[in-house]
Chains A and B, each alone.
Chain A
Amino acid sequence: MTLICESAAEAVAEVEDGSTVLIGGFGMAGMPVALIDALIDQGATDLTVVSNNAGNGDTGLAALLAQGRVRKMVCSFPRQADSYVFDGLYRAGRVELEVVPQGNLAERMRAAGAGIGAFFCPTGVGTPLAEGKETREIDGRTYVLEHPIRGDVALVGAHVADRMGNLVYRKTARNFGPVMATAATTTIVQVARVVETGELDPEAVVTPSIYVDRVVAV
């Protein structure tokens, strides 16, 4: 049962210290900034954050990092022209970093959401990112064993929800949202607007309501 929240604060009220938080977005596209701002006010700390990047500028994920609330970042591409907040924390030894190839990041969360125990994947074979991992040759090709990434919470930016929690996205802001929504115990979504149940074309729904716990229009 999806709860339509009155505020972003209400939506993130139950996030606990030490949680693994999946945060959608690719750069700022699809970044659930209102939910992250609410999480900053809410106060949860010692977080592991899984997101493609490690924050841009001073808002959103960068602001959460700047508050010292993130123990570990799991991401594919931390270093960017405007990732100075993360860069400073990392160089000062104040945040851990696990770099994951982007496809593995997505597929490991997909696996978590789909009940897959682990999977063999060709990405990274022979590189430092596969060191220490189990490999197997299948039909003449070498694969690396990769394990799911499961979240306690996912913060997702979508475009429109109906009151049941069905979601549609907008253009490339979709990115990690649909995958993260499946991979967390509690999925919290910010949208531009909530419409009445029945107003979304069932053929166009991208994330079905079963994956969605809380929705707030911002």
Chain B
Amino acid sequence: MSLTRDEMAAMVARDIPAGSFVNLGIGQPTLVADFLPEGSGVVLHTENGMLNMGPAAVGDAVDQDLTNAGKIPVTELPGASYFHHADSFAMMRGGHLDVCVLGAFQVAGNGDLANWHTGAADAIPAVGGAMDLAIGAKRVFVMMTLFAKDGSPKLVPSCTYPLTGVGCVDRVYTDVATFQVGPEGAVLLETFGTTFDELAARLDVPLRRAEEAGGDPGSS
């Protein structure tokens, strides 16, 4: 069986080391917060200027001065801190964040990321913090479905959409498989309801098995 969005989020959460400083991108990656184990000590960063962000605010806790990067009202946990935008992005660009989790239109086998612009003529380009996150975090995880609605693969030999960052992605978590990507190309780590051969047939990107790639895929 392929994974639901919640199950994908749980897979990502499983691979975030305890005590990490983590930024979760807008949309699906936000779900990862729900699957971080109690007491993991993971500190969530939101690029609009806060560390140790808590869950979404409900009822009386909603405060328009306290939102996440998706402009959703959130809460603060004990030990939270606030800072201005230049400091927030210095945390990112200065390499202080351990992990960020982003959505994507396409990821290339070499780790190139396209997630900000389809390049369509009538699309209004909007980049937000995606380019800063992509090059700043120590490890970049992507969470996406492996195939677009039209069936075309989103893990590709080279991105056809405009790039967000070059060679920046480490792991790709999808509904049917988890991959390591980077200078050595795409390596299949796990499958859900499919097989290496099925995926190798459907993807244009050269694919290797974890055993062939050698070493511990967790140490990328």
**A102 adjacent to B129 (CB under 8 Å):** yes
Provide the bound-state CA to CA distance between A128 and B166, in Å.
Answer: 12
B6 at the interface (CB under 8 A from A): no
Provide the bound-state CA to CA distance between A26 and B126, in Å.
Answer: 14
User: Which residues of chain A in 111-132 are interfacial with respect to chain B, using CB atoms and an 8 Å cutoff?
Assistant: 121-129
Among the 9-residue stretches A4-12, A38-46, A175-183, the one with 4 or more Cβ atoms under 8 Å from chain B is A175-183
B88: nearest residue on chain A (CB-CB)?
A106
Contacts of A105 in B (CB 8 A): 85
A179: nearest residue on chain B (CB-CB)?
B86
Which residue of A78, A129, A173, A175 contacts B124 across the interface (Cβ within 8 Å)?
Answer: A78
A128: nearest residue on chain B (CB-CB)?
B162
Which residue of A77, A128, A169, A177 contacts B126 across the interface (Cβ within 8 Å)?
Answer: A77
**A76 adjacent to B93 (CB under 8 Å):** no
Which residue of B47, B49, B68, B131 contacts A127 across the interface (Cβ within 8 Å)?
Answer: B131
**B165 adjacent to A30 (CB under 8 Å):** no
A69 at the interface (CB under 8 A from B): no
Smallest beta-carbon distance B169→chain A, Å? 13
B18 at the interface (CB under 8 A from A): no
B163: nearest residue on chain A (CB-CB)?
A127
Interface size of B by CB at 8 A reads: 43
**A127 adjacent to B66 (CB under 8 Å):** no
Smallest beta-carbon distance A158→chain B, Å? 11
**A126 adjacent to B66 (CB under 8 Å):** no
A107: nearest residue on chain B (CB-CB)?
B86
Provide the bound-state CA to CA distance between A148 and B127, in Å.
Answer: 19
**A103 adjacent to B92 (CB under 8 Å):** yes
21 example contacts (A-B, Cβ-Cβ < 8 A) are as follows: A26-B49, A26-B71, A76-B126, A77-B127, A77-B128, A79-B125, A102-B127, A102-B129, A103-B93, A104-B132, A127-B131, A127-B164, A171-B50, A171-B65, A172-B46, A172-B50, A172-B66, A174-B83, A174-B84, A176-B84, A179-B85
**A173 adjacent to B65 (CB under 8 Å):** yes
Known: A28-B64, A102-B47. A122 touches B82 (CB 8 A): no
B66: nearest residue on chain A (CB-CB)?
A171
**B124 adjacent to A26 (CB under 8 Å):** no
A150 at the interface (CB under 8 A from B): no
Known: A127-B131, A127-B164, A127-B165. A99 touches B126 (CB 8 A): yes
B125: nearest residue on chain A (CB-CB)?
A99
